[in-house]
Structure 1
Amino acid sequence: MTAATAAKPKAKTPALKPAPVLTLGATIDKMWQLREDKRAAEVVTKGIELQIKALESTMFELLDAQDTTKAQGKSASVSISETVVGDVEDWETFWPYIAKNKFFHLVQKRVSDPALRELWGMKKVIPGVQPFTKRTLNVRSL
């Protein structure tokens, strides 16, 4: 392999540079200021996230009204993808089912959606859980 055909090495994440040497008090003050800056940035981020959620809701409505699952603007495109996930309505009946059948793979801190889809695909009835279609919006740069 020649140098011209050799694969380019992947870019590495730059190493963190050690902070300049400060007094303890100055270090505390700098850390506090950075924490305050982070809090202010999080407020801005939260506002942006709320705007994104509102636009997602609007896009779902517009796409549904136009009976389509894809659209594009000048900068990006969107498409709707759907995945069936479990929505446990009755944990008191669901837990005994898990224990009796030794289907502990169905739960994490939440229901394991791939395991549920597999059982539903085998026409199994799972007590306490109903299928719920979760929709996500995919945004891609053009």
Structure 2
Amino acid sequence: MLETPAIGDLIRQLRDSQSQLDTLNQSIKETKDQYHAIESQIYAFLDQQGISRADSKTDRVVINESTVFTAKDWNLVHDYIVSNNAPYLLERRLSTAALRELLAMGTQIPGVEPYTKRTLSLATK
């Protein structure tokens, strides 16, 4: 028969796991910073040379470009979407804050169903 660990032991294990995650996340952040710094140097080199690709003995880098969009004025974008019946310009994601506010005011939005997302908070005493 398996024994259920005591809650104190489980909390200690959770703290230990969190500490390991913190160490790994710091290492990931440092590695990403280093990666982006090297990437910037490569962009600068390629731009200076007027080329979009380069090779080493084992690898190749190629600059790929694509056009992406950012909304500079959401009010204008929203007005366009409404006037031109163009909801396809938006990606599917609901605003949790706005929906909470509407729900608090008693407004129901068809097709929207709330659910409870559970997370566990760990704090040092």
Is 1:30 aligned with 2:13?
Answer: yes
TM-score (norm 2): 0.64
Decide whether aligned partners of structure 1 residues 68 and 88 sit closer, same or farther in structure 2, where only a CA change above 3 A counts: same
Residue number in structure 2 paired with 1:119: none
Bigger RCO of structures 1 and 2 (CA < 8 A, at least 6 apart): 1
From 65, 77, 81, the counterpart of 2:60: 77
Deviation string, structure 1 residues 66-91 (Cα, Å, up to 9, x no partner):
11111122342211111111122222
Is 1:103 aligned with 2:79?
Answer: no
Q: CA deviation at 1:41?
A: 0.9
Decide whether aligned partners of structure 1 residues 103 and 75 sit closer, same or farther in structure 2, where only a CA change above 3 A counts: same
Q: Which has the higher helix share?
A: 2
3-state SS of 1:78 partner: strand
Deviation string, structure 1 residues 61-118 (Cα, Å, up to 9, x no partner):
11111111111223422111111111222222121111111111112279xxxxxxxx
Residue number in structure 2 paired with 1:64: 47
From 31, 40, 64, the counterpart of 1:48: 31
Q: Which has the higher strand share?
A: 1
Q: Which segments of 5 or more consecutive residues in structure 2 lack a partner in the other structure?
A: 94-125
Could you tell me how far apart the structure 2 residues matched to 1:35 and 1:52 are?
25
Could you tell me how far apart the structure 1 residues matched to 2:9 and 2:57 are?
48
* Paired AA for residue 42 in structure 1: N
CA RMSD of aligned residues (A): 2.2
* Paired AA for residue 41 in structure 1: L
Could you tell me how far apart the structure 2 residues matched to 1:81 and 1:102 are?
33
Q: Which segments of 5 or more consecutive residues in structure 1 lack a partner in the other structure?
A: 1-19, 111-142
Decide whether aligned partners of structure 1 residues 102 and 37 sit closer, same or farther in structure 2, where only a CA change above 3 A counts: same
3-state SS of 1:86 partner: coil
* Paired AA for residue 96 in structure 1: D
